[in-house]
Amino acid sequence: MSTSNSQIILNIRFKVKLGKKETFRESLFALISNFKSEPSFVNAIVSDDLDNPDDLVIYEIWRGTRESWIQNELTKPYRAEYEGALTNLIDDRIVSWLEPVGEWGSTLTNVRR
């Protein structure tokens, strides 16, 4: 993993299949239980979208870069089982890769304003 102070944020919106939200939520929480002890993990927040009840959003902060995350985290064995289950649980997944540039009210990122 990167030794610099860089961080990457994944903001992922899941369009969950009708009637599958609780099953998907359980699968996502199991995935988080696996990765929450990874050395590069900082934080994760899972949210329901109040305006789109079938959507679920996760906001993850990791130490490193997009490239280091793909190389070191995406290849974890527990992710394969999770990815395999997604076909039956979601209609779409929209991934945004973000880099923090300012933070107020907490100290989760390496940037301050």
Q: Which two tokens stand for residue 74?
A: 């995406």
Q: Mind listing the pLDDT tens digit for each residue in 56-69?
A: 999 999 999 999 99
Consecutive H or E run containing 66: helix 66-72
| Amino acid 4: pLDDT | 60
Phi, psi of 65 (to 5 degrees): -120, 170
Domain ranges of the chain: 7-98
Query: For the chain, what's the residue count?
Result: 113
Give all strands (DSSP E) within 3-106, no chain letters.
Answer: 7-16, 41-48, 55-63, 90-98
pLDDT bracket for residue 17 (50, 70, 90): very high
pTM of the model: 0.90
CATH number listed for the domain at residues 7-98: 3.30.70.100
Residue 2 has pLDDT above 50, yes or no: no
Residue 15 has pLDDT above 80, yes or no: yes
Residue 110 has pLDDT above 90, yes or no: no
